[in-house]
Structure formats: structure tokens, C-alpha cells
Structure 1
Amino acid sequence: MMLIRPIQRQDKQALLQLATKTGTGFTSLPNNEQNITDRIERMIATWEGTAPLSDQGYLFALEDTTTKKVVGISGVEVAIGLNEPWYDFHVGTQVHASKELGIYRQMKKLSLSNDHTGHSELCTLFLDPEYRKNKNGQLLSKSRLMFIAAFKEKFSERIIAEMRGVSDQEGESPFWESLGRHFFSINFTEADYLTGIGQKSFIAELMPKHAFYVDFLTEAAKEVIAEVHPSTQPARNILESEGMRYEGYVDIFDAGPTLEAYTKDLRVVRKSQLRKIVITTTESLAQETLLIGNEKYQDFRAIIANPQINENEIYLTQEQTQALSVNEGEQIRIVPLFEKEKK
């Protein structure tokens, strides 16, 4: 069984192992032991209620209960940009017109922005390549939304997700080569690493403060604005299926798109419901796959399964209730894993 649970201190080595597999452009899980240690401690402090708002975040592990191996990670930051500025580029339009000359031209421009300050952020989604099957990616991504649905008061009314932008097999980013390299004497891989260990604002402060025209970039750079890395497309598809949309903001380094939504409008938040648990000794499978999560803040658990349900109850096996850390008669939150079941 695949199980979502809160991160634990003993997961550090598993995260370090996952960090070796992420590749260039995945800034939120750097292969840096101190950074990962600090991140885990910050997450635990959030659950324990001792972290200030600016530091609060949640990190969830995907565990294969058969092998006890952590094979995936996903997170949520509660309020970004409160400790240091949160930078991105807004893709806007500049109009140049002369009625006398009969000239009217619209040109795209990029402007440095802090517009997402204070928003919650979905982040750090990574699944071991060997486990990219059996709806594991859906569980890993959407379980965070189930947690948000259960504890909406912990999060901002708006939520974003920065998507990894385009880079090649050598770790080169067309956008960085056309823009960022003019302001720094480092390559994209190094800039990417510095971002991952918390140096993003320092680097961003050296970026141009005034808007500049997209037409001044190379063709290769223009083509990747708001596009995602091929390995990130499935993650983008999942979030868009849940109601998140690109609204014209991109990452300052690789131009990957930022998806955003009102938290209350996310499908899992809108449509999840509570059911009372009935333990059954004979598992009777339904056609629809459900995302199932408990209502325990410090001991959150989530799985996917195909149990029978009615208007008031859900029928779970002893194994499923043990994985979810719940007992018969308790309330549990459910939602269809997909808007419409995918075969």
C-alpha cells in the first residue's frame, strides 16, 4: 500500500537520496544535507505550533508500506515572501502607438514582481522514477489538497505553484542564457543550486529592476516562456485538473509558469466530503477510485482505494484503517481521485 504521512526526522537520508535524482531546475529539494535538515525541523515546528507564520510549511512523504521506503515527497508553504522578497516576472503588454504615423504595436514585456507575497505555495513535488505508476503521482500531489481541505484556516486564500521551466540534458536553460547570464558570471546549474539553498532573493536583487521587452530575447528563450520541463508536464496537468491556471507570471531564472487559484476553488477543497467509517472484513471494490484522508492535523494520513460508500458511511478494511490511523465510527474525508474516472 502507498501511504502519505507527515515528514519525520528519520526521513532525512531518504530525502537526500531523492535529491540526487531530481536534476537541474528542481530548486526546492537541493542535494544539501544542512538545507534538508533545516527544512525538516521547520516543518516539524509548524506541526508543533512553534513556527512563526513566515516559516510555516508542511512536507509529506509517500511511503511504500511494504518496504517502508520513502519514494516521494510533496510540500506546501503557508505564506511565501514574508522573510525575504518573493520574485517572479509578470508577462505584460506595452503598447506603442502614433496616430499621426498610423502605427500601433503591442509588445510583450517582463516586469519584476512581488505580487504573490503572502500566498500559500504548493511545492517540492518529486516522485522516484521507479514509482511513477499506479496513480502514485496523483496521490502524492492531491493529498496536499486534501490536507488543505481539512485545515483551510491554516492557509492563505490564494495558492500558487511554480512549475519547473525548460532546460536541456546538460542543464542549460535558454531563458537563463538569453537573460540571466548577462547579469551574473555563473551558469544556470549554479544559479539553480543557490536558489535551492535559499539564495534566490540575493540573486534576484541583481536582476534588472525595469521592465524589458521579450523581443530582445533570443528565439529559443522566447519559445520557453511559460513552458514546463518535459518531466514536469504531468505535475502541471494534475494541478490544472484541480483548478489551477497560468495567469501571466513566470520564474525569473528559467521562465517556468506559475499556476494559481483561490484556495476555496480547488476541486478537492470544494468537493471533499466526510463519511463515517465502518470496518469490513470482506473488501468489496467499487469502480470509482477515492482519495481518502483522515482529519488529524499532526498525524495526517492519506491513501487511494476503491471502497464501497453510501451517503453516510465508507467501508474500509482493517488494513486501510490502520494505515490511516483511524478507528471505526470516526469521520474521514473522501473525494474522487479524478473529476471523472480515468481508465
Structure 2
Amino acid sequence: MPKAKYSQCSNRTQYKTSITIGFDDNGKRITKSIYGKSSADLERKVHEYRLYLEENPYDAVKHNFKEYATKWCDTKSIGVEKATYKMYKTVIDFNLLNLHDKELNEITRQDVQDVINHHALKARTCQKIKITINQILKQAKKDGLIKDNFADDLVIPKYVPETKRPLMPHEAKLSVLTTFSDRESCYIRMIKNCGLRREEALALQKDCFNFEKNTVTISKAIHFDKNQATIKDPKSKASKRTLPLLKSDIDFLKAYLDKLNTPYLFTSLQSKELISEQSFKRMFESIIDKMNAKATTEKLPQVGDDLTSHIFRHDYATALYYAGIGVKEAQYLLGHSSVRITLEIYTHLDSLANHEEISNKLEDYNKTRM
């Protein structure tokens, strides 16, 4: 047994030594002091502790869960989407409060399951908790701080995304009949007739348009942070695409671009800078107000309170389906990273079409029995 370097304590009744049990994040040595009644007793205790660490290596250095999770989250602020980072931070700061004072290697599957059970009525929240804890434990295991990642064993309620509603017939009609400002009209045409996401439409510049080929190229997206807008890459590689313009939109777009004195299609009205989040909200509220005013004069139903930019984009996907555009081509036009997303839309529309067809056949059959 190798002898430890030891010293006699000042009271001369104990012997003391320090052994290295790890290193902190700055590479500084972490030590543990061990005491014995005699040098032989000290050697025995050192030997026993080293054997213990061989069998329980994760108990050597303690890491507070909140500190580790917060530091992990901070490193993610660069490598992931802003929305993903915000999800991680919210879960750590608010949903995992009961784990904040625990040591990382002492947290059990049941500890996290209890947190999930507390939010059992909110399936999406439970899903976010499981995703976040899985990523934290995955990194902790890679860092050699825990033995197992038990996240896969966590039980969460099934999350069923809300079915996105379509653009209603009267809303589609109002989007054509209503008189908008040129800026508002341009926005509606881009999200409804080209199927652009909000962030893609707001990032458009003049040089995105090719009127020789009558196309618009999507290569950037806008991101709002505390009301300020910045330009970034779009949602995924698949989001970068070139789309055909409707013939009915070309003359309007040419005229609109010609009178712009900035490279961007959508700017704040006063500053002429890239549109801010508040400026966009005011523009979209104006669009809704004008559609509702037109609905009153045309004696049509009012526009739904839940009408969003995405519903106009979904209407474009519906138009592709009924126009007979194939799934793979629709995937490209919509900028979906996976054909599965496009198939979900097409399958849903297929089922609606089948319901109508079945209903018509049943009615025809019943007429023969009368």
C-alpha cells in the first residue's frame, strides 16, 4: 500500500493528509482532507476512501444541479435557435425548481417524474421538461459526472398538437375584397400566395425578386429580440428556396418595389429601418381591422380572433393540394425540412375529401331507396 504524505495536526492528537479527487471547471485541483488517530490509521482510511471512489467515481466531486444546468444552458445560447434556448431556460428556471438545491448525481428518475406529474395536465410542458432534462443529463454523463441518463424512462402524457384551422371561405374572400395599404397588401400576397412564413416575408429585399423569371428567392429570415429585428438564416436548409410568383401579383409587386427607397420590403413607417416587432403587430392589427370593416359592408362574418400569418400560409398548402401539386414538390415549395410534415397536411386534406365523397355517395344511394 503506497504511503500518503501526511502531517500531524497542531493538537498532536490526529494525523492529516489531502488527496486529489478531481478538478474544477478552471482546471484547479479539488482535494479532500482525511484524518486519522495515527499514521497507520490514516493510511487505512486513505486506502478505504480510494477503494470507495473506484466503486463510486461519481461521488468524488459534488455539482449543484441548478448551477450545472444554468451553465449548460448558457453554452446553448449560441448553438441553438433562440426559441429552443428560451425553452431550456424557462424549464430550468421555473419547472425544475424542486431540483435546484439537489446535487446533480443525487437526482433520481422519481425526482424528475414527480415534477412531470405535477404538470400532468399540460402535456406540452411535460414534453419540454423531458426534452430539457434529457439534454442536461446527456451532457453530464459525457462530462463523467453521472453514471446513467434516465430521461428515456420518464413517462409523460401524450402530446397532441392542436389542429391548425384553415383560412375560412369568407376570410379568403375578404383578403381579396379589402382595400389595404401597399405594404399590407404586399405582406398578404407573400404569405397567402407564396406560402412564406412570417419571418421569411418580413426579411424580403428587392433583390430577392427576379421578374424575368417571375420568381422570389427565400434565403433569409427576420428575428425579433426585445422589439429589435435582425436578419438571420431561415429555419432550415430546406427553407432556402425559389418560388414562382402568381401572375396576378406581378404588376403590383413591380410597382411596389419601384417606389421603395430602402432595400427591404417591410420597414417601420417612421424610422424606415427594418420593421420592429411592435410595428409588425400594428400592421397586422390594421389588416384585421380593415377586413372586419369590409365584412360589415359586405354582410359577411367577422374575421376570427385567432387569424394568424400561419393560417394564410396553411391556405397556400391547401391550394397546392387541390391544384394537384405532388407531395415532394409541395415539400420544396413550403420549405419543409421533412416530407412527413407535408404528408400530414396532405393526409388530413385527403381525409376531408374522402368524407365529402362518402357523404355524397350515401346521399345518392339513399335517393335510390326513396
Report the TM range for the smaller structure's normalisation: under 0.3
Which has the larger helix fraction?
2
TM-score normalised by L of structure 1? 0.26
Which has the larger strand fraction?
1
TM-score normalised by L of structure 2? 0.24
**Structure number, greater radius of gyration:** 2
